[in-house]
Amino acid sequence: MDSLLSYQKLCLSMQKDSLTASMMIYRQPLHAMLLYFARILAALKPEKRLDSRDFSSRSILMEQVKCLVRQNYSESLSLSDIAASVYTNPSYLSRVFKEETGIPPSLYINQIRIQNARKLLEDTEELIIDIAVACGYNYIPHFNRVFKEHTGMTPTAYLKSCRRRSGIFSDQDLES
C-alpha cells in the first residue's frame, strides 16, 4: 500500500508538470494497470486490508454474475450458461450466490426481468406479450405468474394503474 500511496503522489506531481503528448498517452493505461494489480494484491492478502469484503473473489464473482444478468436478461439464462460465462461450476455458483445475496440466482434473474418489464409497461405503449418476450419470457402464463408474485398484481392491472396515475386514460377507456 505504501507503494500505491507513493505512486499517487507521483501522479499528482505529474499533473502539475506539463507532459509531452507521448507520456500523456501512456498515463491512463498505467493507472488502470496499477489499479488492477492493487485489487489483485488486496484479493490475495485479505488479512492485510481494511475491508476484506470489497475485493474478495466471491464478491467479484457475484458482481460479474449480476452484471451478466442485467445485460442479458432478455435472453434465455440458465444457471449452467451463467456459470460457464464466469468460469465456475453451476452448483458452486448457486451456493455462493445464495450465501452472498440471500436469494437464489433464479430469483435474482426474475427480479431483474420483472423490474425491466415494469419500466417498459410504464414507459412504452408496447403490448404486454411483446414486453414479456423482450424480458426473456416466452411463455406468457409464466410471465403473468412471476409478475404477480413480484408486484402483487397482473401485468394488465399494473398497466391500468400506470395509465390511471399518468392520466392517459379514464376508467371508462380502460374498461372497454
**3-18 pLDDT per residue, tens:** 656 666 666 565 555 5
Based on the fold, state whether residues 89 and 115 are members of the same structural domain: no
**pTM of the predicted structure, to 2 decimals:** 0.63
Grid cell, residue 143, equals 410471465
How many other C-beta atoms are found inside a 10 Å radius of the C-beta of residue 80? 12
Region 17-22: what's the mean pLDDT?
50
Instruction: Judge whether residue 73 has pLDDT over 50.
Output: yes
Query: Can you give the residue range of the structural domain that contains 11?
Result: 2-48
Work out the mean pLDDT of the chain and round it to a whole number: 78
Contacts (Cβ under 8 Å, ≥6 apart) of 162: 121, 122
Among 102, 134, 167, the domain-final residue is: 102
To the nearest 10°, report the CA torsion of 95, 99, 102, 103.
-10
Looking at the structure of the chain, the number of domains it has is: 3
For residue 52, the model assigns a pLDDT of 43
The answer on 157 and 114 residing in a single domain is yes
